[in-house]
Amino acid sequence: MVRKQHACHLHQPPHPVHVRGEKRRLVQILANLLNNAAKYTAPGGVIDVRVTVSAAQVEISVEDNGVGMPAALLPDVFDTYTQAAPTPDRAEGGLGLGLALVKELVALHNGTVHAASAGPGRGSTFTLTLPLAGADVPAPASMA
């Protein structure tokens, strides 16, 4: 994000938010979502991270004003090796593993993740929902 001079804004509650899970994996989830946003957002673009808390869960969204994606790709975006067709503004491709890993790790934490985009050139939003620590849900599966 620094190299591309993105503006990154964090919108969070004024109090700490605690989720049950493995810190290393939770960091990996957020790093993958932020790296993905940075990769597909032009230099000088904007990335917003929003943290919203309800009674039993936290919702974290990573929204960018990058290249976006077609609606046809959204149902498959978390599948292994899925990527949009290369275009000049999507020159920085990857292997298509990062979002599949995010989905798996979020599921192991008893959470959900989904993607939204208004279409090519209109940015993307990835939203994950995780249970708060103390919520009545099973402990995350071992992720050793």
Torsion sign (Cα): 61, 73, 42, 1: positive
Residue 140 falls within a domain, yes or no? no
Predicted local confidence at residue 38, as pLDDT? 95
C-alpha–C-alpha distance, residues 139 and 111, integer Å:
11
Q: Average the pLDDT over 11-34 and give the result.
A: 95
Question: The domain containing residue 48 runs over which residues?
Answer: 7-129
The answer to whether position 59 is within a domain reads yes
Q: What is the CATH number of the domain that holds 20?
A: 3.30.565.10
Q: What is the pTM of this model?
A: 0.85
Residue 50 forms part of a structural domain: yes
φ, ψ dihedrals at 57, nearest 5°: -150, 165
Report the SS3 class of residue 39: helix
Instruction: Quick: pLDDT tens for 38-62.
Output: 999 999 999 999 999 998 999 999 9
Q: Is residue 141 in some structural domain?
A: no
CA–CA distance, 73 with 83 (Å, rounded to integer): 8
- What is the β-pairing status of strands 46-53 and 7-11? parallel
End-to-end CA distance of the chain, in Å? 29
pLDDT tens-digit readout, 75-124: 999 998 766 545 454 455 555 678 999 999 999 999 999 999 999 999 99
Q: How many structural domains are present in the chain?
A: 1
